[in-house]
Chains A and B, each alone.
Chain A
Amino acid sequence: MSAGLVILAVIAIAIVGFFVGRSRALNSAGGDIRQLHSLPGYYGQAVFLFSAVPALLVTAVWLILQPMMIENRISDMILPTDIAEGSSLELIMADVRRISSGLDTAVVAGALSEPEIETLNLDNTDVRGVLAGVGVAVASDIKPNVLDASVAYRAKTAAARGYMAVVSIAIALVGFAVALSLTKPDYRARNVSEAAIKSLLVLSSFVAILTTIGIIASLIFETSNFFRMYPAKDFFFNLTWNPQFTGGSDLGIIPLLWGTLYVSFVALVFAVPIGLFVAIYLSEYASSKVRSIVKPAVEVLAGIPTIVYGLFALITVGPLLRDYFAQPLGLGQSSSSVLTAGLVMGIMLIPFVSSLSDDVINAVPQSMRDGSYGLGATQSETVKQVILPAALPGIVGAIILAASRAIGETMIVVMGAGAAAKLSLNPLEAMTTITVKIVSQLTGDTEFASPETLVAFALGLSLFVITLGLNVLALYIVRKYREQYE
């Protein structure tokens, strides 16, 4: 019985449980709902939960543990002599899993029968050929021990599946019976369903938090590996970025950090005023009709994938800036430049700034506007002197969030600003950012344990710390702002 079928069976039992529980609750009260502690549906839900939740949990744990335990046993069958030069036990075990699932496929396709598999050996069958015949390609020649391990793996897996089916369904039935025996008029079924919902919510938040912690932990772990190979002092203070595949690289973060901040700064210089003006226009000046058209139109900008912005930078904005600014002014020859990337990124950020600011401006109570208009102020006086000051902390929060977005942006930078790490003030020169270098360090051919690769994690962690700091700052400011009106 496959895992999918087991899960279906458990759920089927639970659904039956729902109806049985509900009608049993009704019967126990003699058909009078008022005699029950909870509505009948809640009794049904309780039976459903008792049947499904423990059984599904066991199934899940089983599915996680089963391959590990079986592999542990099987790996004894592989001798050190079976492991070829340049290979490893893990690679062999991957082969084992592949062959064993290949055998399954072969059985289904009729190329092999169960008895044939039991007596399978390399002398009487061209296993590799048979597997290739059913579309499963195995890279190297299959060694006898590997084949035996595969057959054993397959057999153990099938057996374990059988046990799992029995255990899970048994647990579901026990849960069913227990819940049904609890179904009496004074049983607090409603509270059970409340508790179930609460644990679901708690569980979800745990997943989110644990993921974050996991990401940070892995970053920190790899970063500490990196610092063991490359001095932290050089990483933070070296002014050059020049990775060498042969070793002896300069891996200073400063030029990358400079590029990141420069591009983000240029982007914000474009995005903040325009975004803010859009927000002011939409929330203060536009009639509701115009607003209903313009607001979604601006927000479409936010839906464009950044790679498309990158293309725009590469083929339109870059050459335009080169031909009309850089070359005539003698400031550079390259179409990739900080200005190109910053400009296009700025366009990308406009809806971000405008829709957040629009929300904040709309949150300024109408009575503030009335007060100002009632004193004979014009619209722009009202915006300047009442609305913007009142909304300012929220707007600052929006800008900081936009900044952390800009700092984390990759695609637009690769295509707009290039990949050359440089410390320069000239905005028409190519420069690059932390994110771009993370990508290029990890996609190279260098082996994974070299400082040239691991530096990506140190860069990632630095980036994470910067954006986290900005986000915390933004949150703090926004929260402070909320207090003003409460």
Chain B
Amino acid sequence: MYDAPQLGNAMDQTTTKISARNVQVHYGDTHAIKDVNVDIDAKTVTAFIGPSGCGKSTFLRCINRMNDTIDICRVTGDILIDGEDIYDKRVDPVQLRAKVGMVFQKPNPFPKSIYDNVAYGPRIHGLAKNKSELDEIVEKSLRRGAIWDEVKDRLDAPGTGLSGGQQQRLCIARAVATEPEVLLMDEPCSALDPIATAQVEELIDELRSQFSVVIVTHSMQQAARVSQKTAFFHLGNLVEFGDTTQIFTNPQDERTQNYITGRIG
């Protein structure tokens, strides 16, 4: 393990789940992430905030190597999960993504039934021994996604037929069904109404007992409500990282201060 210098005041007793060292990301000639170092704790919710285009999604996608699917994207530096470099040649990105789940900015259910959407990951990874186990996983995941009551009578209906907010919760259910150790969420609530948002936030809080959750959000309130740690990105730089309460009450950097109070964004 790296003996990482903790930014902000470190929480004791927590172990570092993900640590990033000197991460640089280029899209062709665009330098999207500039030398980011950060340690993300296990069983913690970490919020990424920052103005649009500052590289939050890009950095999030580095953590499960989703950037591999973009031809022009180049990632350098080290990202370690449980002390293992995920950009090492021996690491299979497919295996990694099963461990590091992701919920996207835009809901993207497959054009399959609700049941098949949720069962997709468990089926691929052979998580269920038989049909009844699979049924259980699907139900449990849909409950965690706070959507079970709305869809329990129509599990055979296509997932694409749900409303935008329902689709997003279905995608969350789909992501937790594979039991990832880390869950990356890119603005998961941008399409949700306040009630569904509250449900998802409750879910995130609950997931914290088992997973590390990283959430990108444009809502300061949401970041303050759900996260224990907050990272502020600006123009590809990680400007400030620390306890959420400290970032919101006593930011060290002027840019953070300005963003939180609404002066840049």
Q: Is A162 at the interface (CB under 8 A from chain B)?
A: no
The answer, among A374, A381, A386, A389, for a CB contact under 8 Å with B66, is: A374
C-beta contact mask, B83-119 vs A, less than 8 Å → 1, else 0?
Answer: 0000000000011111101101010111110000000
Q: Is A236 at the interface (CB under 8 A from chain B)?
A: no
Find the residue from B94, B106, B160 having the highest chain A CB count within 10 A: B94
Q: Do residues A372 and B120 form an inter-chain contact, with CB atoms below 8 A?
A: yes
The minimal Cβ–Cβ distance linking B74 to chain A, given in whole angstroms, is 14
The secondary structure that dominates the A interface is helix
Find the B residue at minimum CB distance from A369: B69
C-beta contact mask, A361-401 vs B, less than 8 Å → 1, else 0?
Answer: 00001011111111111100100011001100000000000
The minimal Cβ–Cβ distance linking B109 to chain A, given in whole angstroms, is 8
The answer, among B64, B95, B106, for a CB contact under 8 Å with A374, is: B64
Q: Is B178 at the interface (CB under 8 A from chain A)?
A: yes
Contacts of A72 in B (CB 8 A): none
Q: Is A2 at the interface (CB under 8 A from chain B)?
A: no
Q: Do residues A374 and B101 form an inter-chain contact, with CB atoms below 8 A?
A: yes
Complex: how many Å from CA A375 to CA B170? 13
In B153-170, which residues have CB < 8 Å from any A CB? 160
Given contacts A287-B71, A372-B120, A375-B174, contact A367 B101 (CB under 8 A): no
Given contacts A375-B175, A376-B121, contact A484 B111 (CB under 8 A): yes
The minimal Cβ–Cβ distance linking A392 to chain B, given in whole angstroms, is 10
In B46-102, which residues have CB < 8 Å from any A CB? 64, 66, 69, 71, 94-99, 101-102
Complex: how many Å from CA A287 to CA B69? 11
In A141-186, which residues have CB < 8 Å from any B CB? none
Find the A residue at minimum CB distance from B109: A371
Contacts of B112 in A (CB 8 A): 389
Q: Do residues A365 and B94 form an inter-chain contact, with CB atoms below 8 A?
A: no
Complex: how many Å from CA A92 to CA B111? 70
Complex: how many Å from CA A367 to CA B174? 14
Complex: how many Å from CA A375 to CA B97? 6
Contacts of B260 in A (CB 8 A): none
Complex: how many Å from CA A390 to CA B159? 13
The minimal Cβ–Cβ distance linking A169 to chain B, given in whole angstroms, is 63
Find the B residue at minimum CB distance from A481: B111
Q: Do residues B120 and A385 form an inter-chain contact, with CB atoms below 8 A?
A: yes
Q: Do residues B125 and A376 form an inter-chain contact, with CB atoms below 8 A?
A: yes
Q: Do residues A375 and B98 form an inter-chain contact, with CB atoms below 8 A?
A: yes
Given contacts A373-B66, A376-B97, contact A367 B104 (CB under 8 A): yes
Q: Is A124 at the interface (CB under 8 A from chain B)?
A: no
Complex: how many Å from CA A386 to CA B174? 14
Contacts of A288 in B (CB 8 A): 71
Q: Is B200 at the interface (CB under 8 A from chain A)?
A: no
Given contacts A375-B98, A376-B178, contact A368 B125 (CB under 8 A): no
The minimal Cβ–Cβ distance linking A225 to chain B, given in whole angstroms, is 51
Q: Do residues A370 and B69 form an inter-chain contact, with CB atoms below 8 A?
A: yes
- B: interface residue count bin: 20 to 34
Given contacts A374-B104, A374-B175, A375-B178, contact A390 B110 (CB under 8 A): yes
The minimal Cβ–Cβ distance linking B222 to chain A, given in whole angstroms, is 22
The answer, among A371, A376, A389, for a CB contact under 8 Å with B124, is: A376
Find the B residue at minimum CB distance from A392: B111
Q: Is B171 at the interface (CB under 8 A from chain A)?
A: yes
Complex: how many Å from CA A375 to CA B104? 11
Complex: how many Å from CA A386 to CA B120? 10
Find the B residue at minimum CB distance from A375: B121
Find the A residue at minimum CB distance from B160: A484
Given contacts A376-B125, A389-B111, contact A371 B94 (CB under 8 A): no
Given contacts A288-B71, A377-B94, A378-B94, contact A371 B110 (CB under 8 A): yes
Contacts of A365 in B (CB 8 A): 108
Contacts of A381 in B (CB 8 A): 124
Contacts of A372 in B (CB 8 A): 110, 120
C-beta contact mask, A246-287 vs B, less than 8 Å → 1, else 0?
Answer: 000000000000000000000000000000000000000001
The minimal Cβ–Cβ distance linking A484 to chain B, given in whole angstroms, is 6
Find the residue from A369, A374, A386 having the highest chain B CB count within 10 A: A374
Contacts of A389 in B (CB 8 A): 110-112
Complex: how many Å from CA A376 to CA B92? 10
The answer, among A287, A367, A376, A386, for a CB contact under 8 Å with B106, is: A367
In A347-368, which residues have CB < 8 Å from any B CB? 365, 367-368
Q: Do residues A390 and B97 form an inter-chain contact, with CB atoms below 8 A?
A: no
Q: A-contacting residues of B (Cβ < 8 Å)?
A: 64, 66, 69, 71, 94-99, 101-102, 104, 106, 108-112, 120-121, 124-125, 160, 171, 174-175, 178
Q: List 18 A-B contacts (CB under 8 A).
A: A287-B71, A365-B108, A367-B106, A368-B110, A368-B111, A370-B69, A373-B94, A374-B101, A374-B102, A374-B104, A375-B98, A375-B178, A376-B96, A377-B94, A377-B121, A385-B124, A390-B111, A484-B160
Nearest 10 CB-CB pairings of A with B: A376-B98, A367-B108, A374-B102, A376-B97, A375-B121, A371-B108, A390-B111, A378-B94, A377-B124, A386-B110
